[in-house]
Structure 1
Amino acid sequence: MTQLSAAQTSARTAQPAKSASSDGSKALYGGKGTRRITVRDIALAKERGEKWPMLTAYDAMTASVFDEAGIPVMLVGDSAGNCHLGYDTTVPVTLDEMVMLSAAVVRGTSRALIVGDLPFGSYQEGPVQALRSATRLVKEAGVGAVKLEGGERSHRQIELLVESGIPVMAHIGLTPQSVNTMGYRVQGRGEEAAQQLLRDAKAVQDAGAFAVVLELVPAELAAEVTRVLHIPTVGIGAGPETDAQVLVWTDMLGLTQGRVPRFVKQYADLRSVMTGAVKAFADEVVAGTFPQEEHSVH
């Protein structure tokens, strides 16, 4: 059976968590190393049973904060289309935009592994187009890996990129670039859909992907995928049993306006903080109390 029973799930939950390496210096998050994290480090973390965090980043200043905080992997996601570029979906994002944003994040960091997203239309034609697009992200932006969406349908693209020396993070489940065909809904519900997601996960692993994002997938299914794969799984709306967790940073820090997905936990309310600061500045300008003497030059 692909879907785990309630009893199986309870038994798994009751088991103690896998312990990470006793050598904390090797940890992805909280480790003492200063060099760039590589896909080899990601693989070793899987062997140790270490869980790790990933955040999106789209500019040098924000990325520098995350790097200083110890975030080991940052995704320059095409989610920038929604968060920063004003698009309704990720579909309009161009490769030129991804190269520019990825280069900024690389410049703002020194330790994190930076993964650049291949946007819609930059790899769907086939492996050669995928290699040409990924090469731009590696050479022009300096990313350490790329991400692309799709399981079995992207097998050949992943295979050629890996053979060419470009590490690939795969992305299955809800794939936002396919919003016009699948919408924004949970993927992998029901036996047939679950089996397809398992096939997709095994296909990207067989093609050489070093990790796979599972987006909006039932927690029990994500736990099974994590169990059967030897590469790390990165969950977003996929329950607690994946090897890593990723969130869009503007969602996580409360900057996103309006409704956010159910799987998002907001750790701050930056929108309120920024709104308050802006209003305080504007009020002082109107009242003539800013700038004062200490803010003036003579």
Structure 2
Amino acid sequence: TAANANPPRRKRTIMDLQSNKRKKIPITMLTAHDYPSARFIEAAASSHHNHHHHGSSTSGDTGILGPGAAKPPPRGVDIALIGDSLAMVACGYPSTTHLTLDEMLYHCRSVARGCKTSLLVADLPYGTFAVSVEQGVHAAVRITQEGHMDAVKIEGGEEVAPLIKRLTDVGIPVMGHVGLTPQRQAALSGYRVQGKTVSSALKVYHDALAIQHAGAFAVVLEAVPARLAEWISSRLEIPTIGIGAGKGCDGQVLVQLDMLGVDSDLGAGGKGPRFLKKYASLGEVATGAVRTYVDEVRNGAFPGEEHTYPISDEAFRGFLEAVAEQDPAGRL
């Protein structure tokens, strides 16, 4: 029946991601940083948005493709990333290195309340795993336990493999992140593409291999030439998720506020990095709405009759009489 055509989406799992890679269905990942941004992700996965996919089979038959047809692609965002980019886009810090673990946990909990069917992955913030593997395990336990996350993401290459292995051993799934690692952008002197030279390309590849070997379930490739990312993706068993790494990766990720066109500091000229595509201009819409509200309050257009609550003439008259009785001199 039509009612059952779109059952509620079940929670995404790591096995779903592996299966996406096998079937060559691109994995979708988007950041979330609070309850509303989590709700946008959740709502995008709900059925009514997807009716246009089954336009051909509304007549009650099994559609043009027949009963043995492939299932429609999975709906919605597979992975919601509580990325430490929220330091800049949601908290106004100049870089991700200012974000503390406690701040991160607050954002994790807000997203977890709003996002029920995407896999929830949170960045281990800068400095939370620099001292020792033990320190990293402690932070990851807090993120999964107090932050209600399904997994953690760790930036870095071969040097973070021991931590990834330990976390995997204790049952905390880890997503890797190689190529450009924004937590080290000062050391890399700003935002620049990695893997453009032979030695740099080899480093990206060896880092990705080390992370896979340590037990990560997926790896983000950031700001890596498309051909290199495609080559690495085809040789890894785990899914790759690209940001500025071309369509040869097994999935894609963007920062939600950036792709919605909410201009935080988007770098030189306000355009943001080359890989960013803006799917909306929410910043302009919001600023315009604020201006209109201010204008309407000032010129008396808001609130209108439809925004107010009535009181009967009788009740108001009674109120005025009662006030006059209580306070004959009109002091009140």
1:33-82 Cα offsets, whole Å, 9 max, x none, are: 63321212111211211112111000111211111212121100000011
Q: Which residue of 2 aligns with 1:262?
A: 274
CA RMSD across the alignment: 1.2
Alpha-carbon offset, residue 156 of structure 1 = 0.4
1:81-126 Cα offsets, whole Å, 9 max, x none, are: 1101111110101100111101111110110011011000001222
Q: 1:118 aligns with which of 110, 120, 124?
A: 124
Q: 1:172 aligns with which of 171, 178, 181?
A: 178
Kept in 2, the 8 Å contact 1:126–1:156? The answer is no
1:180-224 Cα offsets, whole Å, 9 max, x none, are: 100210101111111111100000000000000000001111011
How far, CA to CA, are the matches of 1:234 and 1:44 in structure 2? 14
Q: Which residue of 1 aligns with 2:286?
A: 274
Q: Which residue of 2 aligns with 1:85?
A: 91
Q: Secondary structure at the match of 1:50?
A: coil
Q: Which residue of 2 aligns with 1:36?
A: 11
Kept in 1, the 8 Å contact 2:17–2:27? The answer is no
Q: Which residue of 2 aligns with 1:251?
A: 258
How far, CA to CA, are the matches of 1:180 and 1:297 in structure 2? 57
How far, CA to CA, are the matches of 1:141 and 1:178 in structure 2? 24
After superposition, where does 1:94-173 map in structure 2 within 5 Å? 94-173=100-179
Q: Work out the number of aligned pairs and report it.
A: 268
Kept in 2, the 8 Å contact 1:56–1:77? The answer is yes
Q: Which residue of 2 aligns with 1:220?
A: 227
- Relative to structure 2, which stretch is displaced further, 172-181 or 256-265? 256-265
Q: Which residue of 1 aligns with 2:194?
A: 187
Kept in 1, the 8 Å contact 2:257–2:263? The answer is yes
How far, CA to CA, are the matches of 1:32 and 1:208 in structure 2? 33
How far, CA to CA, are the matches of 2:309 and 2:129 in structure 1? 54
TM-score (norm 1): 0.88
Runs of 4+ in 1 over 3 A off after TM superposition: none
Kept in 1, the 8 Å contact 2:177–2:220? The answer is yes
How far, CA to CA, are the matches of 1:32 and 1:198 in structure 2? 40
Q: Which residue of 2 aligns with 1:235?
A: 242
Identity of aligned residues (%): 46
Alpha-carbon offset, residue 32 of structure 1 = 5.3
Alpha-carbon offset, residue 262 of structure 1 = 0.7
How far, CA to CA, are the matches of 1:224 and 1:256 in structure 2? 34
Q: Which residue of 1 aligns with 2:314?
A: none
Unaligned ranges ≥5, structure 2? 1-5, 45-75, 265-269, 311-332
Alpha-carbon offset, residue 295 of structure 1 = 1.0
Kept in 2, the 8 Å contact 1:148–1:171? The answer is yes
Kept in 2, the 8 Å contact 1:34–1:110? The answer is no
1:50 aligns with 2:25: yes
Q: 1:297 aligns with which of 292, 305, 309?
A: 309
Q: Which residue of 2 aligns with 1:60?
A: 35
How far, CA to CA, are the matches of 1:276 and 1:198 in structure 2? 46
Kept in 1, the 8 Å contact 2:168–2:215? The answer is yes
TM-score (norm 2): 0.79
How far, CA to CA, are the matches of 1:41 and 1:287 in structure 2? 55
Alpha-carbon offset, residue 297 of structure 1 = 2.4
Unaligned ranges ≥5, structure 1? 1-30
1:77 partner letter: G
Which has more radius of gyration? Answer: 2
1:208 aligns with 2:215: yes
How far, CA to CA, are the matches of 1:141 and 1:111 in structure 2? 16
Q: Which residue of 2 aligns with 1:27?
A: none
Alpha-carbon offset, residue 259 of structure 1 = 2.7
How far, CA to CA, are the matches of 2:7 and 2:31 in structure 1? 22
How far, CA to CA, are the matches of 1:256 and 1:243 in structure 2? 28
